[in-house]
A and B are shown apart, each in its own frame.
Chain A
């Protein structure tokens, strides 16, 4: 069964610093991978998704992620953190085909400090 593991439940960076949120997947077939962001008392918003078209995926708000099959990773990065990036981030995987069920990681709360 597909699953994702997010390393680090809390990450703190200074404003302007690099953001790196880690996600590793476990899958026996090529996965479809997603990063979602959740602001307090809000639903989930899709940041980006990997569907095998390109290994480097660019998303909204300056975020990007690189799919590395050899490392089974799909880490989320942003070159320069902004205060508005403070939120919880979830990595998710979908089985593919007609399945729409998303399996989420445990989430990483990003704190951005001045």
Chain B
């Protein structure tokens, strides 16, 4: 069974640009969550999608957005990139929602903003 796939693995963008990151969950998983990991702030929750609906959102500015498609694949978009957006972005998928389901993480997309 294939794991969670995130593309691309590495990305370099210029300040002011926008970027789209992709996450393909494990087959059959309907929940996808996104996290940002930085040395200064650690792992922070961005948002969660379940069956194409955003169920939970972290404390990030509106420049950060996401969506989920009918096949459960998810994308997150960051507009007007800032240097501080440089981070490892992790996607996690799970079969259902809630604490009884295990979240499986992808390898992440490392975004560098210059």
Chain A positions near chain B (C-beta within 8 angstroms)? 32, 36, 41-46, 49, 51, 90, 94-107
Contact = CB atoms under 8 A, between A and B. Distances in A.
Contact of A51 (B42, B56, B100): B100
B43 A32 contact: no
Interface of B: 4, 6, 31, 33, 35, 42-43, 45, 48, 50, 55-56, 58, 90, 92, 94, 97-108, 110
Nearest to A45: B105
Given A97-B98, A102-B45, A42 B103 contact: no
Contacts of B35: 102, 104
B42 A43 contact: no
A101 B48 contact: yes
Contact of A43 (B48, B50, B56, B107): B107
A17 B45 CA distance: 34
Given A100-B31, A104-B42, A106-B42, A44 B99 contact: no
Contacts, number: 69
B31 A44 contact: no
Contacts of A41: 107, 110
Nearest to A42: B107
Nearest to B99: A32
Contacts of B4: 43
A99 B90 contact: no
Contacts of B101: 100
Contacts of A105: 42
A6 B107 CA distance: 23
B97 A104 contact: no
